[in-house]
Structure 1
Amino acid sequence: MSGPVRGPARIGRRTKDLTKRLVPGDVAVIDHEDIDRVAAEALVEKHPAAVLNAARSISGRYPNAGPRILTEAGILLVDDLGADVMTDLVEGERLVVHEDGAVAVDDRQVAHGTVMDAARVAVALEAAREGLSAQLELFAENTMQYMLRERDLLLDGIGTPDVRTDMHARSVLIVVRGYHYKEDLQTLRPFIRENRPVIIGVDGGADAVLEAGYHLDMIIGDMDSVTDRTLRGGAELVVHAYRDGRAPGLERLQELGLDESAVAFPASGTSEDIAMLLADEKGASVIVAVGTHGTLEEFLDKGRAGMSSTFLTRLRVGSKLVDAKGVSRLYRQRISTAQLVLLAVAGILALGVALWATPGGQALFQIVGARLDDLLSWFTALFAAYPESSGESALS
């Protein structure tokens, strides 16, 4: 970094909400321990001048990928500024972030943190790898607890709500605003066009579906990260509720007047889990997942115990579940007859243009044109003579 970084402060405790109002040049002020890959990629997409984190971007629990993504993108990351920075700073005021991690307003220092450059991030990630064994033990423990708590739902589908969307014997596409969801949706265009699957958006993934230009059949989640416009779009709404029946997402739907048509799905775990379980229970022939979590790194990267449910859900759904990246590798678009005809016509036109650009080609076109004129004259003379001969025969 050469010199201090300046920009207006944009403050948000929830990174995914803050990124919706960030513009290039802003200074993002967050409180996000262990910045995960999805949050970092969302920040990078907005091109902030700097990211100020009240918490530690790498706590040491596991090697989270977020800080490395930010530093590789050239974004200044200042770490561990303290919880007071969230209240001491004012939204929109102009900040100056110095090379030593000092944060100032009008030449008055208001906070000081640690600049997480590439070297510091590498050292912190190496140390965090030593904590993986403890995280794996905790993950296994949480997995067992979830299996005992949700065995009826996992084994027999008990508790799955009735929905009006027909998924029986159809392909179902589940979209989560997660890992590489934009790239996956792009590669799946031929598959979506030819198979017309049922499309389910999980929370913010519903907005991603509409942004990609597709029709949305269902929205599943706690409804906290979906825009009002998307909720009003006509898709069936399934609210993820707690096991005790509480459903905070219904409050927002009540404000929008959409609660009467919504369905509650009480279950532990994550919203992407219940989306997969619902599709499986309703008879989907194949479930294609976009942006969901499939590897150990991705499970741990969310930094919460509930991710163990995703592991068991994938075991429950079994062979029906296909990751979007697998579809793009295995699926090949079928070329239609119309496409082949268009390709042939385009090739002939290109050949004709190339020939016309040469003296020999122009001579060839002149010869072909003369032959066509002769053939046309012959046909004209043939049909012109026919009525005259018929008239003579009639007179005789």
Structure 2
Amino acid sequence: MRVDARTKKLTKRLQPGEIAVIDHTDLDRVAAEALVECRPAAVLNAAASVSGRYPNLGPGILIEAGVPLVDDLGPDIMRLHDGQRVAVDLEPDSPGAGSVRLSGKDGVIAQGQVQTSDTIDAAMEAAKEGLAVQLEAFAANTMEYMRGERDLLLNAVGMPAVRTDMNGRHVLVVVRGYSYKEDLKALKPYIREYKPVIIGVDGGADAVLEAGFKPHMIVGDMDSVSDKALTSGAEVVVHAYRDGRAPGLKRVEDLGVEHLVFAATGTSEDIAMLMADEAGAELIVALGTHATLLEFLDKGRAGMSSTFLTRLKVGGRLIDAKGVSRLYRTRISGWQLTLLALAGLVALFVALAATPGGQTLLGLSGAMWDEIVNFFRSLLGIAPKTPPV
């Protein structure tokens, strides 16, 4: 069993077959996909995975992947520790459904609700009624961000001077978000051909390394990026709060990595796009970022309204890589290409054999091949073949 109030941290040490204990209200898609990748035996959530504010995507992803989810267990479940063994009743119709006990001991530690596809569907339908309220809050947060960051958005006031040259170049901003693996794989030919400047946003830098590339810049609060990425030689920009607080700054300083600090209200993906725009990027390709209203809400942060305004600011330079893997898939398999190549060789052989010049070329090629074979036979002590008389 692994316990952590922050799902992002828990998934870094969660092993297959272990039980994940989290405290995550409105479980979002990115967190759920990270949990599914770890293949846990079950997920125990101290909070409500669906609060009803909006139709969040995470619970359905867990259920669809066959990961049992016990919901709304309360704060007592967070008192458990890594390595403890517990017994969980996962039968929805049993009298003790959703109960959690320490293995070998009596007494229920916590009682929750075992979620099923039916309960999740019902909760999603009910949550749609909350979208209007969330939309109003989103609009209010957008105006608040506009008032607080208008100088940054309109005049680039406070923008740090970075050494990475992006002027007139393509810039790829990689966020470890929705479908990032599929989209990054689909963009490999583009990366090799255009050689864009690659900006990894926090854990997005590790995604770049895993794909076989190297980030030119890393932007974020440094809570999910690895030491390997931070010391890879990329330019590091630490995202700080407007009041100057930067929780990830000490970690970067302890590693001895040269860095800049950028204080801004928005998200790290926002400031990555704004820096690329200000540096004169010809094109900004956003991978794994948030693009729709439901994705903004599913992130579970009111501050996501900053991303909406950032996209308006960047405008026509911005292209979303999301869905590229669905839009473009090669329809020719490897074996089909092999057969095509063989067919081409056969056609070439037939064409050569039908002309006097081709017959002469084939005869010379055959003689040369015989010479090569006889050479290797002599090296092995085998008598060379002699032509019949």
The TM-score bracket by the shorter chain reads 0.7 to 0.9
2:78 pairs with 1:95: no
Deviation string, structure 1 residues 263-320 (Cα, Å, up to 9, x no partner): 0111101000000000000000000000000001101001111000000000000000
CA distance in 1, matches of 2:211, 2:176: 12
Matched with 1:303 is 300
Q: d(CA) in 2 for partners of 1:299 and 1:133? A: 14
1:389 is matched with which residue? Answer: none
Q: Which residue of 1 aligns with 2:385?
A: none
TM-score (norm 2): 0.84
Alpha-carbon distance, 1:110 to partner: 1.7
- 1:190 matched to which residue of 2? 189
1:66 equivalent to 2:63? Answer: no
Are 1:212 and 2:205 matched, yes or no?
no
Tell me the residue number matched to 1:314. 311
- Shift of the 78–330 alpha-carbon distance from structure 1 to 2, 3 Å rule, reads closer
Tell me what 1:47 maps to. Answer: 39
How do 1:103-182 and structure 2 match up within 5 A? Answer: 103-105=100-102, 106-108=104-106, 109-182=108-181
CA distance in 2, matches of 1:376, 1:203: 60
1:31 aligns with 2:23: yes
Maintained 8 Å contact 1:191/1:331:
no
Q: Report the secondary structure of 2:75's partner residue.
A: coil
Whole-Å separation in 2 of the counterparts to 1:17 and 1:350: 58
Matched-pair contact (CA < 8 Å) for 2:49–2:71: yes
The offset of 1:45, in angstroms, is 1.0
1:285 to 263, 282, 285: 282
Query: 1: distance between equivalents of 2:168 and 2:117?
Result: 50
The answer to whether the Cα contact below 8 Å between 2:183 and 2:324 also exists between their aligned partners in 1 is no
SS in 2 for 1:128: helix
- One-letter identity of the residue aligned with 2:256: G
Task: Give the Cα–Cα distance (whole angstroms) in 2 for the partners of residues 330 and 48 of structure 1.
Answer: 31
RMSD, aligned CA? 2.8
Corresponding position of 1:78: 70
Q: Residues 345-378 of structure 1, C-alpha deviation per residue, up to 9 Å, x if partnerless? A: 644446699x9xxxxxxx99xxx9899559999x
Aligned CA distance change for structure 1 residues 94 and 196 (closer, same or farther; 3 Å): same
Per-residue deviation, 1:234: 0.6
- Name stretches of at least 5 consecutive residues in structure 2 with no aligned partner: 92-96, 331-337, 368-389
> Could you state the TM-score of these two structures normalised by the residue count of structure 1?
0.82
State the identity %.
Answer: 63
CA contact (8 A) 2:26 2:50 kept: yes
Q: What's 2:200 paired with?
A: 201
Kindly tell me the number of residue pairs found equivalent between the two proteins: 348
Segment drifting more, 113-122 vs 92-101: 92-101
Alignment match, 1:394: none
Change (3 A) 1:281 1:328: farther
Match of 1:272 in 2: 269
Counterpart CA distance in 2 for 1:173 and 1:62 is: 31
